[in-house]
Structure 1
Amino acid sequence: MAQTTIDRGEAFPPELSLQIKERFHHVDHDFTGRKRLYFENAGGSLRLKAVLETMAKVDAIPDSAERIHEAASWLKDVQTQGVDDVRLLLNAKGGTVHASLTASGAMFEMVRAVAENVPGDNIVTTTLEHPSSYDSAAQYAQRLGKELRVARSNAATGGIDVEEIARLVDERTCLLVLIYASNISGAKLDLEQVVRRAREIKPDLYILVDAVQHAPHGLVDLQKTPVDGINIAPYKFFGCRGSGFSWLSERAAALPHHKLAGKPAGFWDLGSAAPWQFAAVTEIVNYVCWIGGQFGTGGDRRALFVRGMERIGLHERALLARLLEGSNGVPGLRRIPGVTVLLDHDDLPRRDLILAISLRGLEYTQAVREYEQRGVIVYERVASSIYSRRMLESFGLEGAVRISPLHCHTYEDVDRFLEVTREISEAVGA
């Protein structure tokens, strides 16, 4: 049998990694100055210094962007640039950009608008959804007397198969809502094929996507995946908490929704805008474009952003391969006695930089504490959590230790993590 070639990505040059680390807060130390590894970016996220600096500058300005004087005009320009950059990030044309307090809140509002106003007797979702997607679909299905159809997970890949979703869609489906990538296994759904297959069955199907977990790790391109709504959380994308952004297609934005009567039909924001939200997105896009510029200067701002995200993806794939396989000096997770990599497979391009493991002899929360005592932050995903139970049960798991580094980490960080993991495993087995 021919040996399968594994795509191990390509790490950033060491000098670029140093520059990248310098642009983030608290990569190597916590806020008290203690040395640590923060491998919990799927729950929190490391922050860009430029985002926090810009947020403070813009939010300190007392003026309203809705006025006509000079400072107000400047704030309006900040907001306009931010809207343009949300579109650039998603490669979205037309439609509406909606700024909200959280991405979860926006998902509930988008689901409500479709479920209440689009004909159909069923809603399709997946078992791997974040509660904001799953619970909103379930609540409106129950409230409106619609059937909730739930696509099952694939325990071999950690994701959802395209045909598993497609078999649930029919001409009476009013909404398909799904996650871009699992926040436990890191498995990416083949969104392009899901959209194609679902629309073959029902050409005018409304599709909403939760891209919160995936967007910081891989490119989103709505020209290839023409959905009706998608959300992101800037704090997961190296930005700030207290901010969510969504994009809605023209037909989705025009559905009845909460809005002031005097606003245009497709307008979704309520209350005064917070210009810092938009400024933060611009700084995020600036940063990714800067990375793209390290690998060539040709093309417009979107081309630079695309190149930057592609290089982030390649670097994170290299980190993922290192975590799994290790190096000459340090064994990878697959080779450390007492460690089991859960939901593991070799098709690395189909995985974001999120891993689930178990350590023999350690309960999951206890394992997380052992890591913390050694200066490493990871997180337990256990069946008692509303954020984990449904997903874990679909995989036949009671729990997992989730590991989620970011592209600002390096091979040296990964090796340190592997050394700590081996130390914990040996201590338990002693």
Structure 2
Amino acid sequence: MTTPRAIDRGQPFPAELSLRIKERFLHVDHDFTGRKRLYFENAGGSLRLKSVLETMATVDAIPDSSGRIHEVAGWLKEVMAKGSADLRLLLNAEGGSVYASLTASGAMFDMVRAIAENVPGDNIVTTVLEHPSSYDAAALYAERLGKQLRVARSNADTGGVDVDEVLRHVDARTSLLVLIYASNISGAKLDLQAIVRRAREIKPDLYIVVDAVQHAPHGLIDLKKTPVDGINIAPYKFFGCRGSGFSWLSERAARLPHHKLAGKPADYWDLGSAAPWQFAALTGIVDYVCWVGASMQAQGDRRALFAHGMESIGLHERALLARMLEGSERAPGLREIAGVRVLLDHDDLARRDLILAIALDGLEHTQAVREYEKRGVIVYERVASSLYSRRMLQSFGLEGAVRVSPLHCHGFEDVDRFLDVTREIVEATR
């Protein structure tokens, strides 16, 4: 007889720290007009750190060009160098090239194009759960270059993609593997470490590009354990600002032919003058996560503090996820509320980011979202008519879902309020 696996329900922040964290964010309990609301739509937008927005405004107000010889220009160069170093720290990456762009989606197309056009092979492998920026880029260049597009299927039981399902598509003629770190529908995390290791056993020099936009705010990334050739994040989903994307490319990927000014080094990817505020804002995000790590009694260098901060954030969010699913003495969880179905649900919470897909009996998903908004809760519908979710939903055999995505600056009281509102909505529709 086997012993049942213990379910990891995470570990919430100490109550005092949770309050201090919430105070560092804007609009957690109220919208910008002052109306009380609960923002559980962080998979689409993200609550912002006050300090990061203040830093952005300060740095962006400086008129000087970083490309000049003046003292202030030198300071701006230092800001950008620090931000580049902090992106490498965030990813635990060495060397390579940092690419600052307007959006993470644009950078994904650029990375996919450079590899697909210049690396031999007759197929490109991706998954059905990719964001359109990854999937469409892979599909576009596969078609343009006459390569086969191979698409790994999803697993409706886990909400993710199985390792073996990805690997069965990879062979010695695969020029590129494109992967999402975690699903923006179900929150399921792919086993990236296993995929990278085993894919390179099939083809040792395989190029791999990862979309980490959805996962980065929820879990630690370590490219020492998952050595890929390209990875992107979106600071606006990482407590930062819109109008900014960051990517890192390995040395070999960075030197592939790509759009650049002829006089720039072979591994240089920025086009035009980079905005120093982007780098300052990224440093502000890393500063904050390091503060969380230090507040949880971590010690060591900046990477150690950052790693502990992200691990603590992940454990707190896992505790919120467990509370949403299982409830407490205060309120029944989503699994126990009559009229609510938790879609793509499974018990291994360590393999899930803080994103839930649910359905409310008797309510079309868009209608359910509006019912939540009437009661001061912001969630979002993912429906098959949307280009951002059609392919993923259909792979699970779903027509739609209500997506619920809190953030670590929320606490148990926020989850309980959400559960109360959910119960109120389903009772009102009976």
- Confirm or deny a common fold (TM above 0.5): yes
SS class of match (1:340): strand
1:198 equivalent in structure 2: 199
Amino acid aligned to 2:235? P
Q: Tell whether 2:299 aligns with 1:298.
A: yes
Partners of 2:286 and 2:149 lie apart in 1 by 37
TM-score by length of 2: 0.99
1:13 equivalent in structure 2: 14
Partners of 2:4 and 2:129 lie apart in 1 by 32
User: Map of 1:45-64 to 2, 5 A cutoff?
Assistant: 45-64=46-65
1:408 equivalent in structure 2: 409
Amino acid aligned to 1:67? R
Amino acid aligned to 1:369? R
Amino acid aligned to 2:7? I
User: Map of 1:48-87 to 2, 5 A cutoff?
Assistant: 48-87=49-88
Partners of 1:298 and 1:192 lie apart in 2 by 26
Partners of 1:212 and 1:116 lie apart in 2 by 24
Q: Is the 8 A contact 2:298 2:304 kept in 1?
A: no
Q: Tell whether 2:116 aligns with 1:107.
A: no
Partners of 1:174 and 1:7 lie apart in 2 by 38
Q: Tell whether 2:137 aligns with 1:124.
A: no
2:421 equivalent in structure 1: 420
CA apart distance, 1:5 = 1.7
User: Map of 1:362-377 to 2, 5 A cutoff?
Assistant: 362-377=363-378
Q: Deviations over 1:14-72 (max 9, x none)?
A: 11011001100000000000000000000000000000000000000000011111110
2:269 equivalent in structure 1: 268
Q: Deviations over 1:265-292 (max 9, x none)?
A: 0000000010000000000000000000
Amino acid aligned to 1:128? L
User: Map of 1:326-405 to 2, 5 A cutoff?
Assistant: 326-405=327-406
User: Map of 1:315-326 to 2, 5 A cutoff?
Assistant: 315-326=316-327
Partners of 2:377 and 2:296 lie apart in 1 by 32
Partners of 1:422 and 1:297 lie apart in 2 by 39
CA apart distance, 1:4 = 3.6
CA apart distance, 1:295 = 1.8
Partners of 2:209 and 2:7 lie apart in 1 by 32
User: Map of 1:218-257 to 2, 5 A cutoff?
Assistant: 218-257=219-258
CA apart distance, 1:297 = 4.3
Partners of 2:113 and 2:29 lie apart in 1 by 42
Structure 2 gaps, min length 5: none
Identity of aligned residues (%): 81
* Number of residues of Structure 1 aligned to a counterpart in Structure 2: 429
TM-score by length of 1: 0.99
CA apart distance, 1:3 = 3.9
Q: Is the 8 A contact 2:298 2:308 kept in 1?
A: no
1:133 equivalent in structure 2: 134
Which contiguous aligned blocks of 4+ residues in structure 1 show a shift greater than 2 angstroms? Answer: 1-4
Q: Deviations over 1:237-294 (max 9, x none)?
A: 0000000000000000000000001100000000001000000000000000000001
